[in-house]
Structure 1
Amino acid sequence: MKKFISILTLALFTIAILGGCTKESKVLKVSATSAPHAQMLEHIKDDLAKKGVTLEIQVIDDYNIHNRSLNEKEVDANFFQHIPYLESQMAEFGYDLEVLAKVHIEPMGIYSEKIASLDELKDGAVIAIPNDPSNEARALALLHRNGIIELNDVNNQSATVLDIKNNPKNLTFQEMEAAALPMVLQDVDCAVINTNFALQKGLSPTEDAIAIEDADSPYVNVLAIRKGDGNREDLKALAEALTSEKIKKFIEDNYNGEIVPVF
């Protein structure tokens, strides 16, 4: 009888061990641009691992890929965009996505290797701006607010160069992929660049930009998910980690006011 009990105990112990070995943490795939989004995600990897979530970060600097990949279930979430961009993508492509968490603002800036002030812009100067709808409108609004151009409606979040009412310096606008803008600085008079791409180039919005958005910009960067996934425990854990005091301190310690947390 004792021998039977010993064998039974050993069997149960073995089953428990095997059960523990086969239990795997949940893999959560998130696409992000390299700076600062992927950097912030890397900072909370260990916290998520303690909750049984293995964070797999896919670094992609082409804006056009993220939402399509999320909509097609190639990733579980993305972290790279502001709300107007997400809304424009959903309207254009019919993506069924939503915001899970609002994280921070990255003020857009105007940069130049040729002039130190917008007052130095010459007649016929060339300015490079993003070519995606929401960021083009954002760039034009920044130029408008700095007195360089006048738009028909500065609050139009889908404005293009066709909506410029007054261009007193006869500026020429080169529209291109947002990620390419830092690389053309030497070829243009100015470029209007998103902070994440400026940081990748080693540019500081607060030190290198000749003009910058106010900190109350409506362009809040968000964690986006597929509509209906908001109750998933792994995604809720990610949202909680991205809006934690740890991330707030990480932003404050590493970005010198160039990125502003909104939580």
Structure 2
Amino acid sequence: MRKSVALAAAGLALASGLTACGSGSDSGTGGDKDGTLVVGATPVPAGEVLAYIKDNLAQKAGLKLEIKEFTDYVLPNTALQEGSLDANLYQNRPFLDEFNKSKGTDLVSVVDAYLPPMGVYSKKIQDIAKLGDGATVAVPNETTNEGRALKLLAAKGLITLKKGAGTDASPADVTANPKHLKFKELDPAQLPRSLDDVDAAVINNNYAQDAGLSPTKDAILLESAEGNPYANLLAVKRGNEDDPRVEKLAKLLVSPAVKKFIAQKYKGSVLPAASG
């Protein structure tokens, strides 16, 4: 069953919890502009990018940084809204917009940081053209991620979506399905584990890399960066955009040093954002 971000991963969040890095404090700095900036992130690539900044760039920039890692897509935003985080890095703009709409939160983007392209993976075929008639394709069950997955399949001509289908597209918006694909909607974190049971799965970049999959080597279909609206962004609660600590981190995220780190570490599996 498809979920909006209001409900997605609720069970996962309770089961997996979160892992903290840094000082391990339980709350943000509550508006202390000179204190440690507490930033929530998924482990890969956001947590790795932030760790690079913390270890190599933050001190020189006069920034004290604490990273809290989350294993789902809901808790980082609820924690940010409630004030136990000062910022987060893990989501794209369509996801943020839908989250604000469905949850009544007031979170805003500060800067685009990098693009983690979504990909199609399979243990049964090595060429997307070999996807057979009636194949089962697992897709994320969250509103914006499912729409993103379907748009990727449509861009390859595997399906056709109705005119005007937006970022919240669902299987109900499929108007042509020449291969008679069957869609299995799963929590995004479960998609890598589904590869033994389905013909292919459309997997978010961070969960693919967490599972040891290389987007550039293992994906049989990968998003293009050109005109892609799904760059991951640094987000804060509205009113905190001008926090000097946030401004420092935003500047570092689009700095030449971080762009070089992303290019060298991920070798095309994650791309520096065009902004900055």
Normalization by structure 1: what TM-score? 0.87
Equivalent of residue 135 in structure 1, options 132, 145, 150:
145
Q: Which residue of 2 aligns with 1:37?
A: 46
The correspondence for 2:210, drawn from 200, 209, 219, is 200
What is the aligned residue count? 239
Task: Say whether residues 1:72 and 2:82 are aligned partners.
Answer: yes
- 1:156-195 aligned at under 5 Å gives the runs 156-195=166-205
- Residue 224 of structure 1 corresponds to 235
Q: Which of residues 121, 126, 129 is equivalent to 1:119?
A: 129
User: 5+ unaligned residues in a row in structure 2: which ranges?
Assistant: 1-33
1:116 CA displacement: 1.2
Q: For residues 175-204 of structure 1, give each alpha carbon's deviation from its aligned partner in whole angstroms, at most 9, with x where no partner exists.
A: 111121111111110000111111111211
Q: Secondary structure at the match of 1:198?
A: helix
SS in 2 for 1:63: coil
Structure (1/2) with the larger helix percentage: 1
For 1:249, what is the secondary structure of its paired residue? helix
Runs of 4+ displaced beyond 4 Å:
none
**Among candidates 240, 244, 247, match of residue 233 of structure 1:** 244
Are 2:165 and 2:173, in contact at CA under 8 Å, matched by a contact in 1? Answer: no
Inter-partner Cα distance in structure 2 for 1:251 and 1:213:
17
State the Cα RMSD in Å: 1.4
Q: Which amino acid aligns with 1:29?
A: V
One of 112, 116, 122 as aligned partner of 1:102:
112
Greater Cα radius of gyration, structure 1 or 2: 1
- Distance in 2 (CA, whole Å) between partners of 1:183 and 1:193 is 10
Matched-pair contact (CA < 8 Å) for 1:26–1:52: no
How far the C-alpha of 1:53 sits from its partner, in A, is: 3.1
User: 1:250 is aligned with what amino acid?
Assistant: F
Q: Which residue of 2 aligns with 1:92?
A: 102
The alignment's TM-score, normalised by the length of structure 2, stands at: 0.83
Tell me what 1:55 maps to: 65
- Paired-residue identity, %: 42
1:42, distance to aligned residue in structure 2 (A): 0.3
2:20 corresponding residue in structure 1:
none
One-letter amino acid of the structure 2 residue matched with residue 139 of structure 1: A
Q: Secondary structure at the match of 1:230?
A: coil
* Alignment of 1:215 onto 2:231: no
Which amino acid letter does the alignment assign opposite residue 231 of structure 1? Answer: D
